A and B are shown apart, each in its own frame.
Chain A
Amino acid sequence: MKKFSALSILTEGLSGNKGWKPHWQSVDPKSQYEVVIIGGGGHGLATAYYLAKNHNITNVAVLEKNWIGSGNTGRNTTIVRSNYLLNESSRLYEHSLKLWEGLSKELNYNVMFSQRGVLNLAHSLQEIRDSKRRVFANKLNKIDAEWLDSNSVKKYCKIINTSKDSRYPILGATLQRRAGTARHDAVAWGFARAASNLGVDICENCEVTGLQIEKNKIVSINTTKGNINTKKIGIVVAGHGSVLARMAGIKLPLETHTLQALVSEPIKPILDCVVMSNAVHVYVSQSDKGELVIGAGIDSTNSYQQRGNFSIISGQMGSLLELFPIFSKLKMLRTWGGIVDVSPDASPIIGETPVKGVFFNGGWGTGGFKATPGSGWVFAHTIANNFPHKLADPFSLNRFYKGKLIDEHGAAAVAH
């Protein structure tokens, strides 16, 4: 693997950029692996990378039915933060945020992690109380968090409309300065390249079509590129979790929904932080290309279509203009959707399943991009040791039978 550095860019630049090699090898699967990861999104690739890096397990394949990053990893609005209310979630997401802070260096790949700050707005007295409570809870968990009153919000984000006359006036906001955004494709590519470099096989256009279970143990998997024998698999397929679990006879509490996003035409830098509002339900940031990146909530129906309802888009445009009247003349360029796996308590499911050798990581719903490195880290640990990593332990599938839900729904503002 060629190491990226200022020097390599300079020498390549001077020699016509002819020496660059593909960042990873895309190969056909072998007939046997120690561990097979199903799903080549960020979470699957990160899992494979940490299996190799932290646990020295390199006889690993990642099977992706399309191209890597073609799922939600390449479709999300890239907000990364860790200011969750509950201890279990804030610890998991903070672990991930810490990994983000060193990720470009770790992978020798610029994931363009930008800690530009995330504002979560409060529009009512109840939201002020809930937000302050979250700030206190975050501080107790040693996560940076601040409460800003409406004047300070205006100072931090100059173009926001804090007029008292708007329908849902901005009464304040929480601010996490270490939160921000990253470049989604680069996260998939960076993990793929680093994993491939450690010996992991990245197999694209390879769809898993069946799981062979004998005596409650996984023995092999069927794919569109042949059968593979293995004793351990990790299912990390986001919206397709239920489909894969059914192949192994496992029940899951997940529902698949379309989540949409859109971008505006590119404009000069105008918004240097991320703004999220739960009450009017929209969030926005500006990409490095200059486009506003805008999102909101899921479409209501169960759906495996990567395309959603226009009513969601028109609703979020109304909300956006309420917060930023200055954007009223902007044209929107593209809209798209991803299919997200929503769990009953808006928290992920990570760990063992009732079938031996089958590990599951999903239910990240609308907010798993921020968890990519942390999720891979704890999932790799769980697979390698046949035992949940301590940060993942509370997120077991069992919690739905024990009544120990991690109910982040009301707690965590818009769940992205």
Chain B
Amino acid sequence: MLFIKCPYCGERDESEFHYGGEADISRPEEPSKLKDIEWGNYLFMKKNTKGIFSEIWSHSSGCRKWFRVDRNTVTNDIIRVYEINK
């Protein structure tokens, strides 16, 4: 079980949170202009990092805000928790 320090509420048990996966996936500005390969890369392709991975979480049973976590996917150590745009 992870303990995650919500930037707004403080440390809580993982069960209060919802996992959002890889961070920094932004929707293309003009999807209709993309080639199939670019659209496929945006929609489906994943970093799936082994090691330190930037991801997003939501405090779904708490303040319901989204925030970022850098976590080591091999050891489960949480390196950093921070607000979404910082």
B1 at the interface (CB under 8 A from A): yes
Residues from chain A with a CB closer than 8 A to the CB of B1 are 309-311
Contact check, B40 vs A401: say whether CB atoms are below 8 A apart: yes
When chains A and B are docked, how far (Å) is the Cα of A198 from the Cα of B44?
40
> Can you list, as one digit per residue, whether each of B15-31 has a CB less than 8 Å from chain A (1) or not (0)?
10011011000000000
Contact check, A401 vs B36: say whether CB atoms are below 8 A apart: yes
A254 at the interface (CB under 8 A from B): yes
Residues from chain B with a CB closer than 8 A to the CB of A309 are 1-2, 14
Residues from chain A with a CB closer than 8 A to the CB of B71 are 301
A300 at the interface (CB under 8 A from B): yes
**Interface residues contributed by chain A, number (CB under 8 Å):** 23
Contact check, A304 vs B50: say whether CB atoms are below 8 A apart: yes
> Can you list, as one digit per residue, whether each of B30-57 has a CB less than 8 Å from chain A (1) or not (0)?
0000001101110111111110010100
What is the interface residue range for chain B against chain A?
A: 20 to 34
Residues from chain A with a CB closer than 8 A to the CB of B21 are 255, 302
Contact check, B45 vs A251: say whether CB atoms are below 8 A apart: yes
Contacting residues of chain A (204-255) with chain B, CB-CB under 8 angstroms: 240, 242-243, 251-255
When chains A and B are docked, how far (Å) is the Cα of A197 from the Cα of B10?
60
Report whether over half of chain A's contact residues are helix, strand or loop; otherwise say mixed: mixed
Contact check, B73 vs A300: say whether CB atoms are below 8 A apart: no
Contact check, A305 vs B53: say whether CB atoms are below 8 A apart: no
Contact check, B19 vs A252: say whether CB atoms are below 8 A apart: no
Partner of B74, one of A253, A305, A311, A400: A305
Residue from A300, A302, A303, A344 with most neighbouring chain B CB atoms (10 Å): A302
Partner of B48, one of A242, A300, A400, A402: A242
When chains A and B are docked, how far (Å) is the Cα of A240 from the Cα of B18?
25
Residue from B22, B44, B48 with most neighbouring chain A CB atoms (10 Å): B48
B85 at the interface (CB under 8 A from A): no
When chains A and B are docked, how far (Å) is the Cα of A254 from the Cα of B15?
24
Residues from chain A with a CB closer than 8 A to the CB of B19 are 300-301
A→B interface (CB under 8 Å) = 240, 242-243, 251-256, 300-305, 309-311, 344, 400-403
Closest 8 A-B residue pairs measured CB to CB? A253-B44, A401-B40, A242-B48, A251-B45, A300-B19, A400-B44, A401-B36, A400-B40
B→A interface (CB under 8 Å) = 1-2, 14-15, 18-19, 21-22, 36-37, 39-41, 43-50, 53, 55, 71, 73-76
16 A-B Cβ contacts within 8 A? A240-B50, A252-B46, A255-B46, A255-B48, A256-B50, A300-B19, A301-B2, A302-B22, A302-B73, A303-B76, A304-B50, A304-B73, A310-B1, A400-B43, A401-B37, A401-B40
